[in-house]
């Protein structure tokens, strides 16, 4: 691998404080209180990430932000989070940050027994230096309560030359990272358990109410069939009673549906999910022709993907059940500050006021769920229809146009953040001071309403702002 472009001076400076990192124990002691405050701030930052993990922060985002902190301490050019798989006794690269060596090759060369031996050493002495593809590599084991969870590898184009307190800080940060990773795994397992319990509860509710009532209704229908020939009046009475049983069962089923958690896209892109949805509907009803016109769906903000999918799905459900339509037009438009989704059919239509009143009264769950889903996502919902002239459902979702508020210099700094560059590296590329870069980074985070550089990079990449 070629030599990285970044140049280092003989005097190392910290990318966070812009102060020179001490290179000897005597120098470190001279400014010990300053470094202690710096270390405490970093440990606090990592602990705060743990509060977000599993709620507002995905595992990869948590790992990215921890890597960012570790790179800040060591001034590493790039880094990678390696997960330990005890079943296969190997490491697997999960979350790389920056351009570095071949991470799979590096992971394969790291023996678990060696990492466990490192983890057993005292804090500050549990780091190992390696040479990989011309890179100076530092291995930091991640372990909690004697259990190896993984390792972080930090890479630089020059030797690290870390002071003792830097090594100690890296070791403690590694311990905290392992603890957060373990807590995240426990939280994920608790979520899976809760979901399984919820599924079992719903299954019991359906079995104990709807299934039993429907079974009873079938038995009464058999009685109605028997009575039709000889006692038609009694058969009619029994049929009405059975109708009431079915209505009660339907109400119970609607209640069960209303308690379900909203469906996610399950890792698919929105474009693929919509295409699969349309394929399902056209296969189920070959007479129904569905046309979809959309802008680039990759630019739809991630928080709006699930609401957009649910809106289209519910609208198609209503068309299939009630509209008696032969054609549906779906339009998805991205304007400067607005996402517009419109579903229009050529069906029989209806009187909107009457239908909306029934939806408010709880009689039309699908229509009400559609409206509530749009409003929960911060959008507005409209429906247009006339008997004999089809129906149009339209949803407007406001977009936060952060990209338009960034200055050109802030865009340049954001590009460096997306590439995983440190503040010093960005400053060198743009010929500005590190303090100026820090000021731009603060303004970027305020405008983007994010808590860290990794969140900013992820959001900018997802939205296609650069």
| pLDDT, tens digit, 9 for 90 and up, residues 16-69 | 334 443 433 334 444 445 666 767 777 777 777 666 655 556 788 888 888 988
Parallel, antiparallel, or unpaired: how do β-strands 128-132 and 135-144 relate? antiparallel
Count CB atoms within 10 A of the CB of residue 383: 20
pTM above 0.75, yes or no: no
Domain with CATH 1.10.10.10 in the chain: 403-463
Instruction: Indicate the average pLDDT of the chain.
Output: 78
Secondary structure percentages of the chain, helix, strand, coil, to 5: 55, 15, 25
Distance from C-alpha of 123 to C-alpha of 71, rounded to nearest angstrom = 18
The position carrying tokens 């303090």 is 435
Question: Looking at residues 412-437, what average pLDDT do you find?
Answer: 89
In residues, how long is the chain? Answer: 466
What is the CATH architecture assignment of 25-190? Answer: 2-Layer Sandwich (3.30)
pLDDT at 325: 93
Question: Looking at residues 350-377, what average pLDDT do you find?
Answer: 69
**Contact in structure between 450 and 459 (CB atoms under 8 Å):** yes
Please give the class, per CATH, of domain 267-399: alpha beta
Top-confidence residue, 44 or 15: 44
- pLDDT tens sequence across 180-194: 888 888 877 877 776
Closest CA to 110 of 86, 88, 92, 133: 92
Q: Nearest 5°: phi and psi at 134? A: 80, 0
Q: Residue 74 — left, alpha, or beta (φ > 0 → left; ψ -120 to 50 → alpha)?
A: alpha
Question: Looking at residues 378-401, what average pLDDT do you find?
Answer: 85
pLDDT at 327: 95
Distance from C-alpha of 359 to C-alpha of 370, rounded to nearest angstrom = 10
- pLDDT tens sequence across 68-95: 889 888 889 899 999 888 888 888 888 8
Domain with CATH 3.30.565.10 in the chain: 267-399
Question: Looking at residues 383-394, what average pLDDT do you find?
Answer: 91
Count CB atoms within 10 A of the CB of residue 162: 23
Q: Is the pLDDT of residue 351 over 80?
A: yes
Q: pLDDT > 90: what percent of the chain? A: 9
Top-confidence residue, 154 or 364: 154
pLDDT at 264: 46
Q: What is the dihedral of CA 14, 17, 18, 21, to 10 degrees?
A: -40
Between the alpha carbon of residue 346 and those of residues 274, 283, 289, 454, the distances in Å are 21, 19, 11, 47
Question: Looking at residues 201-214, what average pLDDT do you find?
Answer: 69
pLDDT at 15: 36
**Contact in structure between 255 and 293 (CB atoms under 8 Å):** no
Top-confidence residue, 49 or 383: 383
Using CB atoms within 10 A of its CB, is residue 448 exposed (0-12), middle (13-18) or buried (19+)? buried
**CATH code for the structural domain at 403-463:** 1.10.10.10
The DSSP line for 80-141 is: EEEEEETTTTEEEEEEEESS-S-HHHHHHHS-HHHHHHHHTSPTTS--EEEEETTEEEEEEE
Range scoring the smallest mean pLDDT among 80-89, 162-171, 399-408: 399-408
Q: Is the pLDDT of residue 240 over 80?
A: yes
Q: pLDDT > 70: what percent of the chain? A: 77
At 236, list the tokens: 């009619």
């Amino acid at each position: 691998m070629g030599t990285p472009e970044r140049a280092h001076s003989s005097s190392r400076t910290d990318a966070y404080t812009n102060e020179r990192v001490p290179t000897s124990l005597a120098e470190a002691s001279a400014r010990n209180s300053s470094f202690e405050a710096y270390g405490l701030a970093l440990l606090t930052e990592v602990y705060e990430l743990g509060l977000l993990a599993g709620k507002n922060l995905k595992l990869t985002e948590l790992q990215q932000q921890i890597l960012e902190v570790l790179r800040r301490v060591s001034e590493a050019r790039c880094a990678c989070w390696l997960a330990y798989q005890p079943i296969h006794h190997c490491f697997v690269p999960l979350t790389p940050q920056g351009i570095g060596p071949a991470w799979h090759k590096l992971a394969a060369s790291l023996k678990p027994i060696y990492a466990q031996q490192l983890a057993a050493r005292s804090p500050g002495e549990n780091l190992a230096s390696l040479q990989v593809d011309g890179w100076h590599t530092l291995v930091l084991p991640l372990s909690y309560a004697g259990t190896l969870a993984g390792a972080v590898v930090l890479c630089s184009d020059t030797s690290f030359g870390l002071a003792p307190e830097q090594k100690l800080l890296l070791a403690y940060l590694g311990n905290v990272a392992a603890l957060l990773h373990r807590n995240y795994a426990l939280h994920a397992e608790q979520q899976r358990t809760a979901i399984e319990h919820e599924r079992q509860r719903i299954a019991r509710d359906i079995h104990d109410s709807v299934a039993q009532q429907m079974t009873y209704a079938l038995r009464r229908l058999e009685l109605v069939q028997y009575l039709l020939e000889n006692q038609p009046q009694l058969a009619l009475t029994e049929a009405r009673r059975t109708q009431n049983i079915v209505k009660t069962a339907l109400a119970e089923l609607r209640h069960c549906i209303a308690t379900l958690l909203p469906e996610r896209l399950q890792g698919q892109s929105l474009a693929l999910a919509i295409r699969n949805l349309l394929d399902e509907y056209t296969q189920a009803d070959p007479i129904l022709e569905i046309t979809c016109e959309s802008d680039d769906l990759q630019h739809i903000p991630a928080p709006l993907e699930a609401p957009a999918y649910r809106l289209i799905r519910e609208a198609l459900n209503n068309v299939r059940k009630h509209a008696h339509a032969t054609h549906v037009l779906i339009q998805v438009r991205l304007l400067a500050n607005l996402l517009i989704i419109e579903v229009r059919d050529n069906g029989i239509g209806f009187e909107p006021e009457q239908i909306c009143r029934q939806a408010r009264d709880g009689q039309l769950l699908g229509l009400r769920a559609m409206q509530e889903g749009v409003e929960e996502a911060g959008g507005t919902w409209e429906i247009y229809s006339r008997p004999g002239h089809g129906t149009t459902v339209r949803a407007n979702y406001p977009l936060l146009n952060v990209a338009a508020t960034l200055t050109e210099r802030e865009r340049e700094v954001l590009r460096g953040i997306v590439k995983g560059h440190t503040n010093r590296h960005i400053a060198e590329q743009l010929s500005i001071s590190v303090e100026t870069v820090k000021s731009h980074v603060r303004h970027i985070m305020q405008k983007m309403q994010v808590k860290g550089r990794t969140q900013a990079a992820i959001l900018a990449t997802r939205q296609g702002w650069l």
